[in-house]
Amino acid sequence: MVLELEETVVMKNTNGHAIELNVKQGEPTLVKPAEDTEKGLYFLSNLDQNIAVIVRTIYCFKSDEKGNEKAGEVIKNALEKVLVHYYPLAGRLTISSEGKLIINCTGEGAVFVEAEANCALEKIGDITKPDPETLGKLVYDIPGAKNILEMPPLAAQVTRFKCGGFVLGLCMNHCMFDGIGAMEFVNSWAERARGLPLKIPPFLDRSILKARNPPKIEDLHQEFAEIEDKSGTSELYKDEMLYRSFCFDSEKLEKIKMIAMEDEVLDKCSTFEALSAFVWKARTKALKFLPDQQTKLLFAVDGRSKFNPPLPKCYFGNGIVLTNSICQAGELTEKPLSFAVGQVQDAIKMVNDSYMRSAIDYFEVTRARPSLSSTLLITTWSRLSFHTTDFGWGEPVLSGPVALPEKEVSLFLSHGKERKSINVLLGLPALAMKIFQELMAL
Residues 154-213: pLDDT tens digits? 999 999 999 999 999 999 999 999 999 999 999 999 999 999 999 999 999 999 999 999
The pLDDT of residue 19: 57
**Mean pLDDT calculated for residue range 232-249:** 92
**Mean pLDDT calculated for residue range 21-35:** 96
Residue 121, CA distances (Å) to 6, 12, 18 in order: 18, 13, 15
The pLDDT of residue 420: 84
**Mean pLDDT calculated for residue range 209-222:** 97
**Mean pLDDT calculated for residue range 17-37:** 88
**Mean pLDDT calculated for residue range 135-164:** 96
Residue 252, CA distances (Å) to 294, 411, 436 in order: 29, 18, 16
The pLDDT of residue 387: 72
**Higher-pLDDT residue of 122, 347:** 347
Q: Look at residue 16 and tell me whether its pLDDT is greater than 50.
A: no
The pLDDT of residue 417: 63
**Mean pLDDT calculated for residue range 9-37:** 75
Tell me: the pLDDT tens digits for 242-252? 999 999 999 99
Which positions are catalytic? 174, 390
Which DSSP string corresponds to 115-154?
EEESS-GGGG--TTS--HHHHGGGSPPPTT--SGGGS-SE
Q: Look at residue 41 and tell me whether its pLDDT is greater than 90.
A: yes
Q: What are phi and psi of 404, to 5 degrees?
A: -85, 135
Tell me: the pLDDT tens digits for 90-116? 999 999 999 999 999 999 999 999 999
Tell me: the pLDDT tens digits for 369-424? 999 999 999 999 877 766 789 999 999 998 888 988 889 999 999 876 667 899 99
Bridge-based pairing of strands 110-117 and 154-160 is parallel
The pLDDT of residue 165: 97
Q: Look at residue 132 and tell me whether its pLDDT is greater than 90.
A: no
Helix or strand or coil: residue 360?
helix
Average pLDDT for the chain: 92
Tell me: the pLDDT tens digits for 51-84? 899 999 999 999 999 999 999 999 999 999 999 9
